[in-house]
Structure 1
Amino acid sequence: MLKFSILGALQIRTVSGPAEISGDLQRTLVQTLLVTEGQSVSGESLVEEMWGDAVPDNQANALQAHISRLRRKLKSLEPDRATSRVTIHPSGYRLTVGEGELDAAEFIRTVRQAEAAGPHDAGRVAGLLGSALALWRGPVFGGFPGGTLCQLAGARYDEYRMRAMELRFDAELRLGHHAALLAELAEAHTNHPLRERFCEQLMIALYCSGRQADALDVFRRMRRHLGDELGIEPSPALRQVESAILCHDPALAGEARSTFLLQLA
């Protein structure tokens, strides 16, 4: 069994350790086959992904050479495997990846589990997403995005990562861990200044930590930023958090906080 990792630099791990994929074209080929998660990719799409506008004259032969090289590499990592992981189909090429073998697929599966969890599963959700977010070793593909297919997949995985962070922060806030979250929330808000959910969560964590003035200052800066960058006003949810803080709404305290957070989500 191999482990494929793309939540960070491309990595293939065997029982004896990581295996290197050398060369930009080989990395792009592997990444493209992985992000389709078991679906076939046409030869034309692979060529465009690998070479872009610099397509070689003998593109079919060049692609086949790289496919053969990848097959040999994977075979050397799994000498006892009866069939090749890379197969040819009428619709193109496919890389067989089993359940639990691709970190990105496992990550998305866990996020969906957390989304489906009930309102009283905050502890389980926090644990699930904490473990899932630990799969990330850096930017998708290690900052080597490849072509259009890989770039679109990278954006999708990044959005799932933001969603996972939001869900985990919500769960931790419902559990009363507001003080312990302050540093992480401040970092998330700084790194994603237009994502209002992180702003809402940071404001709530600050208020619940006895820092009402700081919470309101975060709102004022966010309102200016939204106006300057996008020409819009804060969302109703963000204004609701400000209003609750201004009037010391009991919904922000104790067990009632869980219901308040669920209303915002």
Structure 2
Amino acid sequence: MRYEILGPLRVVDGDDHSFISAQKVETLFAVLLIRAEQVVTPDQLMTELWGDQLPKRATAGLHVYISQLRKFLHRPHRQDNPVVTQQTGYMLRMGSDQLDLPLFLDLVAQGRTLAKERCFEEASDRFERALGLWHGPLPGTLGNGPITGGFSTWLTESRMECQEMLTDARLHLGRHRELIGRLYSLSAENPLRETLYRQLMLALYRSERKADALRVYQNARRTLNDELGLEPCRALRDLQQAILADDQRLNSFAVSPVA
């Protein structure tokens, strides 16, 4: 089986794709996947399921959800269930099963290394493949406990970082025109993320749209000031001044380094 957590949680078994419709069972499954091969205590699981508002029969409820999850993961051709009871809690054993997350992280790491070596075509390929593993946004039903909430924040940030590194790699390859539409969309969805404004300004300037690039700066400045009372970061301010001065170095594909 293949567990997919890069998007709505699902299990892939051959040509079959299975989803959990019960929110509590989905949260339980997510916690055990996040901590795969590690024991998660009942107290940790109950906190993820109910927070500080534990029902009177929380322990009994947890047992019911564990049973439902085992039924969901049961396969006739397998003798052992991946959800096992340990002395101090519960654990999901991977065995020969796979999880999509390690592959995503490995591809991102490869892309980052290739970008630092200035192999931007290969780096772009790795970032594209990493993002291609996602089959949708993380669901809001995943949970917001200490384990699931922290995981969701980290994974969402990792995905956005991968997108930004892919954009920088494509800028290095001179593919600025094809990036503009996507960057407008991403900056609208993430209005406080200054890297996206920088990338959009550079793509517009290289596409002979200087006025639009400066307009993006003004919009970014206004948004940051209204939301946080802050001025744009130095990178954005320096880029604005370079655009105003028609600095020819902006047309060099070396001005958009990948972190």
Pairwise same-fold verdict (TM > 0.5): yes
Q: Which residue of 1 aligns with 2:253?
A: 257
| Paired amino acid for 2:242 | A
8 Å CA contact retained: 1:38, 1:94: yes
C-alpha distance after superposition, 1:147-198 (max 9, x if no partner): 4121221111110011011100000000000001110111111111111100
Q: Which residue of 2 aligns with 1:66?
A: 65
1:223 to 221, 224, 229: 221
* Cα distance in 2 for residues equivalent to 1:119 and 1:213: 34
TM-score by length of 1: 0.88
* Cα distance in 1 for residues equivalent to 2:110 and 2:153: 21
8 Å CA contact retained: 1:100, 1:106: no
* Cα distance in 2 for residues equivalent to 1:43 and 1:114: 39
| Paired amino acid for 1:62 | G
8 Å CA contact retained: 1:12, 1:18: yes
Instruction: Indicate how the Cα distance of structure 1 residues 106 and 229 shifts in structure 2: closer, same or farther if over 3 A, else same.
Output: same
Q: How many residues align?
A: 257
1:199 to 185, 197, 202: 197
8 Å CA contact retained: 1:204, 1:215: yes
8 Å CA contact retained: 2:25, 2:65: yes
Instruction: Indicate how the Cα distance of structure 1 residues 98 and 154 shifts in structure 2: closer, same or farther if over 3 A, else same.
Output: farther
TM-superposed CA distance for 1:116, in Å, is: 2.4
TM-superposed CA distance for 1:100, in Å, is: 7.9
Q: Which residue of 1 aligns with 2:157?
A: 159
* Cα distance in 1 for residues equivalent to 2:4 and 2:45: 20
Q: Which residue of 1 aligns with 2:142?
A: 145
| Paired amino acid for 1:261 | S
Instruction: Indicate how the Cα distance of structure 1 residues 122 and 22 shifts in structure 2: closer, same or farther if over 3 A, else same.
Output: same
2:112 to 115, 121, 139: 115
Aligned-residue CA RMSD (Å):
2.1
Q: Which residue of 1 aligns with 2:41?
A: 42
Secondary structure at the counterpart of residue 231 of structure 2: coil
Secondary structure at the counterpart of residue 186 of structure 2: helix
TM-superposed CA distance for 1:90, in Å, is: 4.5
* Cα distance in 1 for residues equivalent to 2:189 and 2:96: 33
Secondary structure at the counterpart of residue 232 of structure 1: coil
TM-superposed CA distance for 1:232, in Å, is: 1.4
TM-superposed CA distance for 1:27, in Å, is: 1.0
| Paired amino acid for 1:257 | F
C-alpha distance after superposition, 1:83-122 (max 9, x if no partner): 3312233453221236882223322232222222234221
Which structure 1 residue ranges, 5 or more long, are not aligned?
A: none
Asked if residue 21 in structure 1 is aligned to residue 20 in structure 2, the reply is yes
8 Å CA contact retained: 1:9, 1:143: no
TM-score by length of 2: 0.90
